[in-house]
Amino acid sequence: MSTSSLHPHGVFSAALTPLDAELAPDHARFVDHCRYLLDEGCDGIAMLGTTGEANSFSVAERTALLEAVVAAGIAPRRLLPGTGVAALSDTIALTRHALSVGVDTVVMLPPFYYKNVTDDGIFASYSEVVQRIGDARLKVVLYHYPQMSAQPISHALIERLRKAYPATFTGIKDSSGDFANMTAMVERFPGFAVLGGADPLMLPLLRKGGAGCITATSNVVARSLAYVFKHFGDSDDDPALKAAQARIVKARELVSQFPQMASLKALAADRTKHAGWQRLRPPLESLPPDQLRELLANAAAFAASA
């Protein structure tokens, strides 16, 4: 099965959210960032996810940001907003709002506050969302990130959801870093879009039948990821493919040396020359001066080696 038959497929950026002086989402700057990412080769924007600090924002802040992006002319079909939160009613509200502005595909965390809940409980939560919304347009990309949510999405749960709602649950973002889990889902669920959350794994995942990626490092190396997505079938000996993959790996290492979101925002500030990009909403913090200096020095060396 080709990647083009999977939905969604391609390179989606887990976009950063710039903040204004009041630590609220900066709509205009975010729209600019989305346009930059699309110009760099991203197929779409996975906004309001982990990298976008979504769980630090209210429902009102999240809906307002999505409205601003659509109003600015960015096609709703290119947006994958995160709508899964701890409260069932808020997940329904966010998902219904996305549909109301023309977005039909969302990324949905499982409810994550209560721990050690069963698959039955998680199934019931997802089922309530789908049934209460009752809109055939809705497509859901599940979000498997057990290190952060402490709520894994099992293969048995995926099977149940796909059997009950085959036209709704179309894919999963796997941010576990477990390549064996990703490939097992590709093999077990034909037609199900498995998207990697770790940039270096996109190439091998595509070669196993995966659909692409939703990644944080795409905020800085979208062009290389887009090249790999387009040319993943080329020989490993192809110099351009090797160079693109090497750049992706080095970029991931660069932004993982210190806290990732703070590092990515620091690099965005350096690229745009707008210091406000460095703001994060508490409890997250910007990089301290010594780490910032080291990151920017390493980034300059990385850019020079490209």
- Positions annotated as catalytic residues are 50, 113, 143, 173
Residue whose token pair is 């949905």 = 108
CA distance 229 to 233: 9
Closest CA to 69 of 92, 89, 97: 97
Collapsing DSSP to helix, strand or coil, 305 comes out as helix
φ, ψ dihedrals at 86, nearest 5°: -70, -35
List the strands of the sheet with 10-13, edge to edge: 44-45, 10-13, 212-215, 193-196, 169-174, 139-144, 105-108
Q: Which residues contact 143 (CB under 8 A, 6 or more apart)?
A: 49, 82, 84, 107, 108, 109, 110, 149, 153, 172, 173, 175
Query: Token digits for 40?
Result: 């760099």
CA distance 132 to 122: 16
